[in-house]
Each structure stands twice: as C-alpha cells, then as structure tokens.
C-alpha cells in the first residue's frame, strides 16, 4: 500500500505539474516553482517511507501522515478539475474534426485542426482563469476540515446510548447496562491524558458488563506499553470480554506468512488482554448468570470478507450454547453478520472495524460516510427480523490522526426484555 500510494501520488504530481506549465499562468513556468513543487513531493515521499520503516515519535509520524493525506486529497480533487477542463478542450477539437468543410482543401483543413485551442470563447472560461481561480480554491477546501479534525476531534469521545430489545432476554437481565468500545489502535495515540479521559467517561456510566470488539494495536503488541495501565482500569461486575481484530495478528507488520516473530507477537497481544483483566474469547463462549437465569457471551477471532483474515470458527464458538435463551456475539468485522451469523441463532452481534472511515456526518436520524459504499452495515444498529447488529465506529484512529464528523464512540446499551 505504501508503494501503491506513493506511485499514485507521483502520477498525479506529473499530470498536474505539466498541465499547469501548459497554461498562461506565469509563475508556474519559473524555476523556483519547479523546485518547490518537486522538493515538497520528494520530501513527503521520504517522510512517508521513514514513518513506516523506522521507529520515530508518534507526533512526527502523525504530522507526516496528515501532510500526505491532505496533499493526496487536494491533488486528487485538482486532477478531477483538470480532467473536466481537458474533456472540454477535447470536445472543442472533436467538434472541429467533425465539422471539417468539404469545400476546403486537405491542407487547409489540417491547418485548421492544428490551430491552438482557444483559451477563451463565448461558452467557456479560459483554461488559465478556470485553473487559477476555481481549481486551486476548490482543491484547497478539504485542508480546513481535515486540519480541524486533527486539532479537535481524535479524542472527542461521544457516549451513544442504545436500547437493545431482546425478545427472549431473561427477566433478571432486563435493564442491565452493557458498554462497548472497539478499535483502540493504541499505536496511533499520542495523548495519554485524553485517552484516560475517555476511559473515565465509560467507567462513570457504571456498566454491568463491557465488550471490546478488537484491534487493540495497529501492528505490534509493544504499542500497548504506554496505555496498558489505562485500559486495565476497565472493569465491570459481570466481566470485561474481548476479541481480536484484523490488526492484532501482525499481518501488516510481519506479512501474511507465518513466522516465529509473528507468533510471539500474537501471543504477546493475547497476554496483554489477560494482564488487563479482559476475558479474551478465541472461538469460545461464557455463561453469564444473574439470579437463576443465564445468557451466553460468544466471541470469535477475526472473520471478514474480502482480503481480511477468516480465522474465526463460529460453529466451534457456539458449542455448548444450545440451551441458552439469548446469545450475544463479539465479532470484529461487521461483514461477518451477513456472511455467517444470520444463519445461526445468535440474537445480537457487536462489531467495529469500519471506523466510519473517520469522515462523514452522523446525527440522530441521518448518517453518511464513504464507508457505506464499502460496508452495508458500517455504524449504529441494524436489524434483520429479530436478529441485530451494532457497529461501533471506534475509540481510536488509524492512518489519518483525526476524525471529521464521525467522532470516537463509547456505546452504552440498555438490555430490554419484551
């Protein structure tokens, strides 16, 4: 992905640079403009490589990633504007070709086609004016919300309250308070005080039970070193239950092939869950008893469609739950719900993974994010008959160190018997 993104941005750089040089904008033809343009791009590529290949302070890594992300978005928008203008100009050329006058000689028609396309006519803004005034302004617009998302939103934890109606819920569990967080991604954090504040917000709700639905780290277990003590504070009378997410296996750091280092890292992640007091469910279940009544908490390893790991074994995890009236499932990837879970007697599944793409709009009655074009279920509560899925948009962040519109989430459920 690092190589692909760098190559893609490099292609955009070439296209934009030479498109600008072909205009009548004077300053883009100066040597100093070329030095600044390519100097910035090369410095960005080098910084991107260093941030992924070497251990540097997270603050510096975040600055590099934000710069890369903002640059890529702005240049992508600018390329769209350039393409639209080139299509316009291409249309003018094709129109000339179609309207060749038969009464003229071949030499005269060729001469007509070779004339420079007009920079300005009655139906179009000149290329220079269009690029300079519209293109640059429009391409710069994303910088402001993206910058604000870094400055104000990565730790702006929101408590979302959700009633979860379960028809077969035993009466003893009616009104029970369940908390969920997901996608901690500790390798991205750079503010311990803010992270602690979110944990204290959750504890202030006094939940009876807590679910953590995967992605404790970005890549390696050591990322939790500075935050393990904070997340160890999470406790509840009926337990804290957790599962692994796709990032917890180390595939993005060690590669998909098996290795001793990768196995050790996974074991270290598992050990971290246990040291923090989390009951990590690896394709297994637990029975929760209140009074004389029981429900099952089921947890699977990561199972996702497409390129994501399919390590979870749902059938194995459900063994022994046949006589339980309610089964609550922790599974990191929401795509698992339609792929497998709907064909079982699981009542409700709790997932994360999407982050809501950390960008979008989310209100009480309306939500939108580019994530919805990738995941059918990407944020909030979904129902299919009497079966339910809740997707938490995450506690942490990944890649872009901020959030725009889709804020970090702590979900508080009230279990309702009906």
The string of pLDDT tens digits covering residues 88-121 is 767 767 776 666 655 555 555 556 555 555 554 4
Nearest to 381 by CA among 336, 342, 413, 416: 413
Least confident interval from 11-20, 81-90, 171-180, 191-200: 81-90
Per-residue confidence (pLDDT) for residue 33, from 0 to 100: 86
Distance, in Å, from the CA atom of 153 to the CA atom of 198, rounded to the nearest integer, reads: 13
Strands (E), 300-408: 327-330, 348-351, 361-362, 367-368, 380-384, 387-391
Nearest to 243 by CA among 281, 296, 283: 281
Q: Cβ(220)–Cβ(189) under 8 Å? A: no
Distance, in Å, from the CA atom of 184 to the CA atom of 293, rounded to the nearest integer, reads: 33
Q: Rg (Cα) of the chain, in Å, rounded?
A: 27
Q: How far is CA 199 from CA 191, 220, 367, in A?
A: 13, 22, 26
The model's confidence at residue 149, banded by pLDDT at 50, 70 and 90, is: low
Phi, psi values for residue 288, rounded to 5°: -105, 125
Element of type H or E holding 242: strand 240-242
- Helices 58-98, 2-21: crossing angle, 10 deg rounding: 50
Per-residue confidence (pLDDT) for residue 22, from 0 to 100: 74
Higher confidence at residue 74 or residue 179?
179
The DSSP output letter for 134 is I
Whether the full predicted model's pTM is greater than 0.85, yes or no, is no
**pLDDT at 55 > cutoff 80:** no
Per-residue confidence (pLDDT) for residue 156, from 0 to 100: 92
Higher confidence at residue 162 or residue 371?
162
**pLDDT at 234 > cutoff 90:** yes
Q: Cβ(332)–Cβ(302) under 8 Å? A: yes
Average predicted confidence (pLDDT) for the chain: 86
Least confident interval from 16-30, 160-174, 400-414: 16-30
Q: Cβ(293)–Cβ(171) under 8 Å? A: yes
The string of pLDDT tens digits covering residues 245-299 is 999 999 989 998 999 999 999 999 999 999 999 999 999 999 999 999 999 999 9
């Amino acid at each position: 992905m690092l190589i692909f993104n760098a190559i893609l941005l490099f292609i955009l750089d070439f296209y934009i640079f030479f498109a600008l040089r072909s205009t009548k904008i004077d300053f883009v033809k100066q040597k100093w403009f070329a030095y600044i343009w390519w100097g910035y791009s090369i410095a960005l590529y080098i910084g991107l490589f260093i941030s992924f290949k070497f251990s540097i302070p997270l603050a510096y890594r975040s600055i590099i990633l934000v710069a890369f992300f903002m640059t890529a978005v702005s240049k992508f928008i600018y390329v769209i504007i350039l393409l639209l203008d080139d299509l316009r100009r291409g249309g003018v050329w094709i129109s000339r070709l179609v309207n060749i006058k038969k009464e003229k000689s071949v030499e005269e028609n060729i001469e007509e086609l070779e004339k420079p396309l007009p920079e300005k006519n009655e139906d179009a803004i000149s290329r220079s004016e269009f690029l300079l005034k519209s293109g640059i302004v429009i391409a710069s617009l994303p910088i402001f919300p993206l910058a604000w998302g870094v400055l104000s939103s990565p730790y702006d934890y929101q408590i979302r309250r959700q009633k979860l109606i379960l028809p077969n819920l035993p009466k003893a569990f009616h009104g029970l308070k369940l908390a969920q967080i997901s996608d901690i991604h500790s390798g991205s954090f750079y503010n311990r005080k803010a992270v602690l504040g979110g944990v204290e917000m959750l504890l202030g709700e006094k939940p009876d039970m807590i679910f953590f639905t995967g992605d404790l780290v970005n890549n390696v277990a050591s990322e939790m070193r500075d935050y393990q003590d904070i997340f160890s504070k999470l406790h509840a009378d009926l337990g804290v239950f957790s599962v692994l997410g796709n990032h917890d296996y180390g595939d993005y750091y060690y590669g998909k092939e098996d290795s001793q280092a990768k196995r050790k890292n996974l074991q270290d992640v598992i050990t971290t869950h246990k040291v923090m007091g989390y009951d990590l469910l690896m394709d297994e279940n637990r029975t929760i008893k209140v009074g004389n009544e029981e429900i099952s908490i089921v947890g699977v390893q990561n199972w996702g469609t497409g390129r994501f790991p399919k390590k979870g074994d749902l059938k194995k995890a459900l063994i022994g739950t046949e006589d339980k009236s309610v089964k609550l499932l922790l599974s990191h990837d929401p795509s698992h719900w339609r792929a497998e879970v709907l064909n079982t007697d699981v009542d409700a599944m709790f997932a994360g993974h999407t982050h809501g793409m950390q960008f979008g709009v989310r209100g009480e009655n309306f939500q939108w994010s580019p994530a919805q074009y990738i995941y059918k279920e990407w944020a909030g509560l979904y129902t299919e008959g009497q079966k339910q899925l809740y997707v938490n948009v995450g506690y942490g962040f990944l890649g872009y160190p901020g959030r725009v519109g889709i804020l970090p989430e702590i979900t508080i459920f009230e279990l309702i018997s009906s």
